[in-house]
Amino acid sequence: MVEKILSSSDESWKRVGKVKDLLFYPLKSGRAQSVTQCLFGEYGISVEEAGNFCLKDRMFLVYNHKTGEFKTGRDYPKLLTVKLLAVNEKRAKLEVSGISSIEFDLPMATDDTVKIVNCSMWWGEPVKCIDCGSAASSWLSKFLLGCDEGLSLGLCTSNGDRRNVTGGSVWERHAQIYKTMRNEDTGLFSDLASYMLMSVSSVDNLNERLIKPIPVSQLRPNIVVDGCPPFAEDEWEWIKVGNGVILRNIKPCTRCTMVRVDPETGIPDPEYEPLKTLRTYRKLKNSAMDVLEKHAPAIGIYCGAYQTGSACIGDDVYAYTK
């Protein structure tokens, strides 16, 4: 079936919209960055610019330097305001509007002096990362904790270190319900999948119900599609976009309290919006999924890459029709 879809003719695909925006997050739980074009790789979006090192989606993460536990905007909402940028081929920068930024040298996995750290992730699986040094650690600790130490910044070791999420009970429970999930769908340090897609109309539909509308970046998609009805993406099993990219819908993107956080201020909404409104009309209809996801509402879809390539804003988006 998969081979049939990957080799199917253009007549088998129905145009469903256009790419409105492309977003990626070099720092896990960090500030969104919008790009006009990018590569769609096995591990997620990557952006190559002349003179800079290649930034990849969620290639950096914040972790507790004593326990190795990864940290996100669920733990520290202000983390969502932190932007990670490439300075050149060997240096990166952390910045937040209104405070001093910090530049640091990128650690190299081939350097015998680098510190390799074992971190624990969302599925409970261990991952290795490279500690990015004391300057980044101190800056993050001061900004998020108000003290000089406690948190560190980690960089993915290499694309060759594929995470294995299949060994634990969390995976087993999900795989029983979501039959198309693969270990290959995980990104570098993303919670679950290497891509998340949603439509403009789905966000508009939500905003029509809110007293205070939210930006699309608050919902943290990678691919934003324009020109389709609200929540049409829920039904797209296979998606084709750009220059040869083929993605597969692996599960709904269920939402946690992190969507409460304003990405401009890092402050959670005291009324629990938009989560409260999503709960009124976007709970999963499948009862087994609803129980598994602890009745969390969904907006957007998680996707895995079956064929890599490139895409840019304005590209047509197609869904496979049998």
pLDDT band at 6 (very low <50, low <70, confident <90, very high): confident
Q: What percent of the chain clears pLDDT 70, i.e. is strictly above it?
A: 98
- Here the CATH number for the domain that contains residue 146 is 2.40.33.20
Q: Does residue 321 form part of some domain?
A: no
Amino acid at 60: F
| pTM attached to this predicted model | 0.94
Confidence (pLDDT) at 1 = 67
In whole angstroms, what is the distance from residue 126 CA to residue 155 CA?
14
Q: Does residue 233 form part of some domain?
A: yes
For the segment 173-183, the average pLDDT, to the nearest whole number, is: 92
Q: Does residue 226 form part of some domain?
A: yes
Taking every pair of C-alpha atoms in the chain, what is the biggest distance, in angstroms? 59
User: Please, is 93 exposed, middle or buried when counting C-beta atoms within 10 Å of its C-beta (0-12, 13-18, 19+)?
Assistant: middle
Q: Does residue 132 form part of some domain?
A: yes
Q: What is the pLDDT of residues 115-125, one digit of tens each?
A: 888 888 877 77
Q: Does residue 320 form part of some domain?
A: no
Q: Does residue 322 form part of some domain?
A: no
Residue 77 lies in domain? 2-315
Task: Tell which residue, 83, 80, 32, has the closest CA to residue 265.
Answer: 80
Domain count, the chain: 1
Tell me the average pLDDT of the chain: 93
Q: What is the pLDDT of residues 29-50, one digit of tens each?
A: 999 999 999 999 999 999 999 9
